[in-house]
Amino acid sequence: MTRHPEQALYYDPASVAGKAPPIRDETDILIVGAGPAGLAAALTAAGHGLNVTLVDENPVPLETMGEEVPLHFGGRMGAAVSNRNSVLNTLLEARPEIAEALEAGVDVRLGTAVWGLFPQQPTRAWIAGAVAGLADDENAYLLRFRQVIVAAGRRDMGLAFDGWQRPGVMGISAAHRLATVYGALESRIAVVLGSDTHALATAHALSGKGVRIAAIVEQAAEVSGDAALLGLLVEQGAQVLTGHVIAEAGGDALGVKRVSVVAVDSAGHRVDGAQREIECDSVLLGVAAIPAIELVESAGCSTSFKAERGGHVADTDAALRTSLPYVLVAGDCAGAWSSKSLDEDIARREGRIAAQTALAALGVEIEQDEEAVLPDLPAGDIAARRADWVRASALHAQNEPYICLCEEVTAREIIGQQPPRYLGWPPAVAIPGSYKDSPNPDVTKRLTRACMGPCQGRRCREQVAGLLSLDSGVSVAEIALASFRPPVRPLSLRQAGQIEEVPQMQDRWDAWFDMPSQWTPFWLCAGQQTTARRPQETPGQPHSLHDNEG
């Protein structure tokens, strides 16, 4: 590209402008997630003369599962997860539509995570079109797409209580995946925390896999989920303890062996003498099903809190287009509600709608005959319910459990905006109402490091929002979503190092570290610590790594 002479004055040789990395692969329609919605989308999109690529991160590597990504697995993964071939066979048996997609000509990539979506935007001018970052066990690379359907599913809200760091405390969705997709759940007796329809339906499915549900614990005065499912669990021997929370998960380094449950009053305070013990080896967190929107949010799609869809979701139209018209969502990623938990055909219908929308956008004439999917009316104030759980379980816990297990941050430190204790600060002093103006989880993250650990906030993000809500009096629904940034899946340095660069990207690499040269002492570089202060030069002008030494 020819530059005007006046523009040459402002040319920055360290900029990435005009230095796009190589794109290894490309496809017309990229589908993220091989659950009911993603598979329905793939089968609908196949056979129209376009390249369709279906990516699913399962089987997830054991190392990633140990970091509680993408779900909260809680150390209850059986030995089978270390045998990739065995898990792959189990996965194919659990999802026979994968074989159908292969036969239909879909490029299916299992064990491959999408760690970022990068559409061309003012801050990403180097990108031509839209690009996805992919990684499997061996490689990390970039793939260009024209339309993407994100069917990333859901995850479970974390909830702190004394002992929740023990192996055996896990998300109920993670338990379901281990039992039904991996055949590797090490759990025999479980206590379920939460009673919405998703939690009850999953508990019932687990009971069919040999897990005895000992109790359903609910902090509210009433169970919020499907009455028929609750009746089935009671018939199987489950206790129903409303107005209760877990006081402590007891056990040892190998995991949970029992839980103590305690009654709470309407303000979440614990009732003296109202405590009992239940023997179990697992605690299943079913407080709330959270749509997994980290990919679409980090890509720049607008989001908002929609109670009828289970919380923060991407803003979409009836055709499931987001604010970026080439990014679509389907399945629990588009919203989680009771009837969808009971009927996978709703997610499949969303997958077909999204595929038809993508095909039409690419010029394929196809009859769009699916009716728009409408969510259920919300069952009460879900924002208040989540805050109530955080108050009764975490805020009123006796021994101040860590809300953020990765970075070891307590509720008091979050409310008091306490910097990390390794900096030598005195104990936090919570100042009630300190967030009255604008509670923001990102500010809390920067000050306390909560949500900055290996699990990338999956276990504590909603708890932080709940604490800010309780302290400020602002509803969880009105608190900004804590931001996601790529990579939204862990990447090893070995994988990250495989992402190709053009030679020009390595030119003047030292500027990225804010220094003229890695070998020049800072006292010889006065005034040159920023690129803006360095001598400007025109494209192609020869230079040396040491031409700025002074």
> Cα 316 from chain centroid?
19
Residue length of the chain: 550
pLDDT band at 11 (very low <50, low <70, confident <90, very high): low
Give the residue, 27 or 273, on which the prediction is more confident. 27
Give tens-digit pLDDT for 204-217: 999 999 999 999 99
Q: Give pLDDT, residue 550.
A: 35
Across 26-35, 265-274, 509-518, which has the greatest mean pLDDT? 26-35
Q: What is the pLDDT of the chain when averaged over all its residues?
A: 88
In the chain, helix, strand, coil percent, each to 5? 30, 20, 45
Rg from Cα positions in the chain: 25
Which residues are 252's β-sheet partners?
255
Q: Give pLDDT, residue 228.
A: 97
pTM of whole model > 0.85? yes
Q: Cα(78)–Cα(170) distance, rounded to whole angstroms?
A: 14
Q: Cα(21)–Cα(136) distance, rounded to whole angstroms?
A: 19
Give the residue, 202 or 529, on which the prediction is more confident. 202
Residue 120 · residue 300 · CB < 8 Å: no
Give tens-digit pLDDT for 399-445: 999 999 999 999 999 998 888 877 777 765 555 545 556 789 999 99
Which residues are 55's β-sheet partners?
32, 109
Q: Give pLDDT, residue 129.
A: 82
Q: What is the largest CA-CA distance in the chain?
A: 82
Q: Cα(80)–Cα(222) distance, rounded to whole angstroms?
A: 39
Please give the class, per CATH, of domain 22-57+112-155+290-361: alpha beta
Which residues are 162's β-sheet partners?
248
Q: Cα(314)–Cα(334) distance, rounded to whole angstroms?
A: 7
Cβ neighbours for 182, distance < 8 A, ≥ 6 positions apart:
58, 59, 77, 78, 80, 81, 87, 90, 91
Give the residue, 263 or 481, on which the prediction is more confident. 263
What backbone torsions phi and psi does residue 484 show, to the nearest 5 degrees? -110, 145
Q: Where are the domains of the chain?
A: 22-57+112-155+290-361, 396-498, 505-550
> Could you tell me what percent of the chain has a pLDDT over 70?
86
Burial of 84 (0-12, 13-18, 19+ CB in 10 A): middle
pLDDT at 148 over 70: yes
pLDDT band at 51 (very low <50, low <70, confident <90, very high): very high
Helix (H) and strand (E) counts for the chain?
17, 23
Give tens-digit pLDDT for 449-475: 999 999 999 999 999 999 999 999 999
Segment 14-28 shows an average pLDDT of 81
pLDDT band at 94 (very low <50, low <70, confident <90, very high): very high
> Cα 237 from chain centroid?
34
Give tens-digit pLDDT for 324-377: 999 999 999 999 999 999 999 999 999 999 999 999 999 999 888 899 999 999
Cβ density class 86-121: b for 16+ within 10 Å, e for less: bbeebbeeebebbeebeebebbbbbbbbbbbbbbee
Which residues are 255's β-sheet partners?
252
Q: Which two three-digit tokens encode residue 532?
A: 């803006």
Q: Give pLDDT, residue 513.
A: 57
Cβ neighbours for 374, distance < 8 A, ≥ 6 positions apart:
none
DSSP codes, 141-187: EEEEESEEEE---EEE-----BTTTSTTEEEHHHHHHIIIIIS-B--
How far separated are the first and last CA of the chain, in Å rounded?
A: 33
Cβ neighbours for 100, distance < 8 A, ≥ 6 positions apart:
39, 43
pLDDT at 248 over 90: yes
pLDDT band at 546 (very low <50, low <70, confident <90, very high): very low
